[in-house]
Amino acid sequence: MRPGKLSTGVLAAIAVGAIAVFLSVGEAVREVRVARKDEGAFRAASQAYEAQKQEAQRVEKETQAAAQALAKMEAAVSQALPNKGPGAAALAGGPGAKTSAAPRANPQATARADGQDFLTTVPQARDMTSAVGRAQIAATLGPFFKSAGIPDAQAQQFADLTLQTWLQSTAINPEGMIRPTQVFPSADDAKAVLGDQGYQQFQDYVRTLAAQSITSEVQMAAAYASEPLSADQSARMTQILEANSASYQGGKGVDLKSINWSAALSQAQNILSPQQMTALNTAAVRFQYYSALQQAQVAATK
């Protein structure tokens, strides 16, 4: 099972996880160029760029490892499902493992009950799920903690609360994919940790995650082409995507399927160079292709 099978609703975040880091890298590249006239400043900017690049590589490596670990675990669970493999007892390592006595009528209740049985029955399941979850949560929430100025202790508390929410809502669907049915803590629990102002900042951040994922992709592609986006360009491009998202304008989060891409691309020409526009066009075409493919696959199963 490929990491690509992971739920985009749950992991709005693996691809988004390195957003802040990669944006920092792009800004550092620009600063290095400006600082070349001053050798001392150039050395300092170069060192900052290298440190940020290493951090970006670390975040990318951790998120990829998390996705691969979860894919392996999902494959094992899929084989343990009834009529698909050796059964849950074999996966759990002994004949005494619990299995569901009979199918339940409510699919969502079945998926969640199976998820909780899995965490209870399979050795090291909770530790593995926690390790994968921590990596994904750090990647998803890291940019929020940084942009909102959340203190380290408070950020850790909220990350722990989010992980607990994931574990308590872990479900296994009929294909064996493992996912939490509740991604973030309840409003009351979140406010208890972040406070009212911090919670509002968090809500605003979550609404823009999908737009930031596109900005991050363009930022990386443009940086590889030696034309990184500045911090102002990145912020304005995200705002353009938000402004052209019907779901965002309706008070919900940015849904990439709701974006008026023609309008967004036209407006982006005013702030991006031709080479940067090429990166954005590529990202837009790729997303629209995979979105159409997914819709066709769903329609074919009906």
Q: Which of 18-32, 169-183, 201-215 has the highest mean pLDDT?
A: 201-215
- The residues with which 178 forms a beta bridge, in sequence order, are 172
- For residue 101, give the amino acid letter: A
Cα–Cα distance between 68 and 101 in angstroms, integer? 31
pLDDT of residue 81: 53
Mean pLDDT of 187-198: 96
44 pLDDT tier (thresholds 50, 70, 90): low
Cβ-based neighbours of 122, under 8 Å, separated by 6 or more: 88, 91, 92, 93, 97
Q: What mean pLDDT comes out for the span 252-262?
A: 90
pLDDT of residue 79: 59
Q: How far is CA 233 from CA 26, 158, 207, 276, in A?
A: 11, 30, 20, 10
User: How much of the chain, in percent, has pLDDT values that exceed 70?
Assistant: 62
Asked if pLDDT for residue 162 goes beyond 90, the answer is yes
φ/ψ of 186, rounded to 5, equals: -65, 160
Start-end of H helices in the chain: 19-34, 39-80, 88-92, 107-121, 125-148, 152-168, 187-207, 209-224, 231-243, 246-249, 261-268, 274-300
Identify the pLDDT of residue 45: 52
Query: Residue 128: which pLDDT band, with cuts at 50, 70 and 90?
Result: confident
Residue 139: predicted pLDDT? 80
Query: Mean pLDDT for the chain?
Result: 74
25-39, 59-73, 229-243: least confident range: 25-39
User: Span 182-197, mean pLDDT?
Assistant: 94
In terms of C-beta density within 10 A (0-12 exposed, 13-18 middle, 19 or more buried), how is residue 86 classed? exposed
Q: Which of 44-58, 89-103, 276-290 has the lowest mean pLDDT?
A: 89-103
Higher pLDDT, 97 or 115: 115
Whether the CB-CB separation of 200 and 243 falls below 8 Å is answered with no
Task: List Cβ neighbours of 3 (8 Å cut-off, separation of 6 or more).
Answer: 14, 64, 67, 68, 70, 71
* Residues belonging to the chain: 302
Task: Please report, rounded to a whole number, the percentage of residues in the chain having pLDDT higher than 90.
Answer: 27
Name the more confident of 222 and 13: 222
pTM of the model: 0.59
According to the model, what pLDDT value does residue 10 have? 35
| Domain spans of the chain, in order of start | 3-89+106-198, 210-300
Q: What is the pLDDT of residue 185?
A: 94
For the residues 82-90, what does the mean pLDDT come to?
Answer: 44
pLDDT band at 136 (very low <50, low <70, confident <90, very high): confident
Higher pLDDT, 45 or 289: 289
Closest CA to 276 of 240, 243, 230: 230
Mean of pLDDT values over 95-103: 47
